Amino acid sequence: MSKDSNIPNNYFNNLPDKIWAKIDQMDDRVKEHAPHFHALSQSNPYKVPDAYFETFESRLQLLGWGRILSLKVIRPYFVAASILLVAVLSWIMMPENSTDDPGADDLLYADVYDYYSDEIEYIDQNLLVGFEADDFEEASLVTEELTEEEIYLYEEAILQEMTDQELLGIL
Amino acid sequence: MNNNDARILMLINDDRRFEEGFSLLVSSYQEKLYWHIRRMVHFHEDADDVLQNTFIKVFKHIKGFKSDSRLYTWLYRIASNESINHLQKQKKHASTDLGAHLTDLGERLKADSYFDAEQAQIILAQAIESLPEKQRVVFNMRYFDELSYKDIAEILETSVGALKASFHHAMKKVESYITDNIDYVEG
């Protein structure tokens, strides 16, 4: 017992451990502390379709990792296409390359960009389908198209992963 | 690290046996991760989407996995983050009022063919849904997944003390919600 106060020695040092020990005991006594919750939590109301887990992996292969493998294969082509797009746009926008087409002067930069963006997107989709069919013989993937969001996310990931040297190598 | 995880990583690190290793990983963890995700998102279709995204993310990053953390805590971390991302995306299109959100959840569960639509179970789902997302993750991992505080602390990169406090606060809130609403239903 401490002489300065009427509490045991090291009382405050030991207090946190005592409190945690009591809290841990409460963990084992959910039935007493939360009887309604305990009663309801004994059954699982969530159900899954028949054979869901048995077929999950094969569906994952078709929907997921087959696509990633495909995208890894087209990565260099995609980057090359992106660089080509920038080069074409730069060339078009140079004043000495403007045409005498009376309509051309009226085109805004955004219109030109949109036009070439659409073209590149179209080419990429075809490239993807070609590689899936040729390299992986996964015919079911041929009919699938990636969404714009997926393509955008992979573009980002691909460009981030590439080193400067890899980019220069493609150029 | 248990023997199964060690075998998964050994296969994955061998380029010729990568797919075999990844298949073993999926078959070993799909059910555990599914149930963890399902309790967060409630609906099978959503859980299926989130589980697929989780494994795709695992697939993309498994080569960079550092074995200084355990495989299953790493998988749970990805699954939890994917679940929270999914819920936050949904929130953008949903009501910001908690009461309206819980009522809507109740109605949707009632109509869901993959949910046992007993009123008491709907109240339990609403009670857990009323917790903030991160607290819900802790609550589910501790109670339903039966993970230790040490493992949860590793998964969520937080302290055991903070987790214990969070869990007990959550348990009180859940019990209080059920008590109030069961009385209301029974009354």
pLDDT at A65: 61
φ, ψ of residue A46 to 5 degrees: the values are -85, 135
Neighbours of A140 (CB within 10 A): 10
Q: Are residues B74 and B108 in the same domain?
A: no
Domain end call among B77, B93, B109: B93
Each residue of B85-129: pLDDT tens digit? 999 998 877 767 889 999 999 999 999 999 987 899 999 999 999
B51 shares its domain with B83: yes
- Identity of the amino acid at A84: L
> Tens digit of pLDDT for each residue in A79-112?
667 777 777 777 777 766 655 554 544 555 555 5
Are residues B58 and B79 both part of a single domain? yes
Say how many CB pairs under 8 Å bridge A and B: 92
B124·A40 Cβ contact <8 A? yes
Give contacts of A52 with chain B, Cβ < 8 Å.
44, 48
Q: In terms of domains, do B78 and B101 share one?
A: no
Mark whether B77 and B139 lie in a shared domain. Answer: no
Contacts of B27 in chain A (CB under 8 A): 57
Contact A30 B26 (CB under 8 A): no
B79 and B127 inside one domain: no
- Please measure the distance between the N-terminal and C-terminal CA atoms of chain B and give it in whole angstroms: 52
- The token pair at A17 is 């451990």
φ, ψ dihedrals at B115, nearest 5°: -135, 135
Q: Which residues pair with B115 in a beta bridge?
A: A46
Stretch among A57-61, A71-75, B12-16 having the lowest mean pLDDT: A71-75
Tens of pLDDT, residues A64-81: 566 555 554 455 556 667
- Residues 6 or more apart whose Cβ sits within 8 Å of residue A133: A139, A141, A142
Predicted confidence at residue A148, as pLDDT, reads: 64
Map tokens 């949109």 to a residue.
A114
Section B66-85 average pLDDT: 91
Residue entry with tokens 């926008």? A93
Same domain, B81 and B110: no
- Contacting B with CB below 8 Å, chain A residues are 20, 23-24, 26-27, 30, 33-37, 40-41, 43, 45-49, 52-53, 56-57, 59-60, 63-65, 68, 157
At A24 the pLDDT is 72
Note the pLDDT tens digit of each residue in A4-52.
568 888 888 888 888 777 777 776 678 888 999 999 999 899 999 999 9
User: B127: closest CA among B50, B39, B48?
Assistant: B39
A100 Cβ partners below 8 Å, 6+ apart?
none
Nearest CA in chain A to B35: A46
CA A43 to chain centroid: 34
Alpha-carbon gap: A83 to the closest alpha carbon of chain B (Å):
25
Question: What local confidence, expressed as pLDDT, does residue B182 receive?
Answer: 82
Q: Looking at the structure, tell me whether residues B127 and B55 fall in a common domain.
A: no
CA dihedral over A58, A60, A66, A67, signed as positive or negative: positive
Instruction: Give residue B77's Cα distance to chain centre.
Output: 9
Supply the range of the domain harboring residue B130: 96-187
Cα-based torsion angle of the residue sequence A110, A116, A122, A126 in order, rounded to the nearest 10 degrees? -150
Structure confidence at residue B33 (pLDDT): 97
Do B137 and B54 belong together in one domain? no
The domain boundary residue, chosen from B75, B93, B111: B93
Contact: A37, B127; criterion CB under 8 Å = yes
User: Considering its fold, how many domains does chain B have in total?
Assistant: 2
Task: Summarize pLDDT for B30-49 with one digit per residue, the tens.
Answer: 999 999 999 999 999 999 99
What is the per-residue pLDDT for A33? 85
**Alpha-carbon span A6 to A49, nearest angstrom:** 65
Q: Which residue has the higher pLDDT, B6 or A100?
A: B6
pLDDT tier, B186 (very low <50, low <70, confident <90, very high otherwise): low
Same domain, B55 and B17: yes
Question: Measured between alpha carbons, how far is B8 from B19 in angstroms, rounded to an integer?
Answer: 10
- Cα B3 to chain center, whole Å? 25
Residue B137's CATH number: 1.10.10.10
Q: Do A57 and B27 touch (CB under 8 A)?
A: yes
ipTM of model: 0.87
Judge: B171–A33 Cβ closer than 8 Å, yes or no.
yes
Q: In this predicted structure, what is the pLDDT of residue A12?
A: 84
pLDDT score at A8: 85
Which carries the bigger pLDDT value, residue A120 or residue A150?
A150
Are residues B104 and B83 both part of a single domain?
no
B85 vs A: CB within 8 A: no
Q: Identify residue B165 by its one-letter amino acid code.
A: A
The reported pLDDT for the residue numbered A62 is 78
Q: What is the pLDDT of residue A159?
A: 62
Domain check: are B107 and B170 in the same one? Answer: yes
Which DSSP symbol is given to B146?
-
pLDDT over threshold 60, residue B20? yes
Per-residue model confidence (pLDDT) at position B158: 92
Q: Is the pLDDT of residue A113 over 90?
A: no
Is B59 in Cβ contact with A40 (below 8 Å)? Answer: no
Question: Where a domain ends, among B63, B93, B123?
Answer: B93
Contact in structure between B126 and B108 (CB atoms under 8 Å): no
Q: A66 to chain B: nearest residue by CA?
A: B56
pLDDT digits (tens, 9 = 90+) for B145-159: 999 999 999 999 999
Kindly report the average pLDDT of chain B as a whole number: 91
Of A123, B59, B103, nearest to B94 by C-alpha is B103
Please say if the pLDDT value at position A163 is more than 80: no
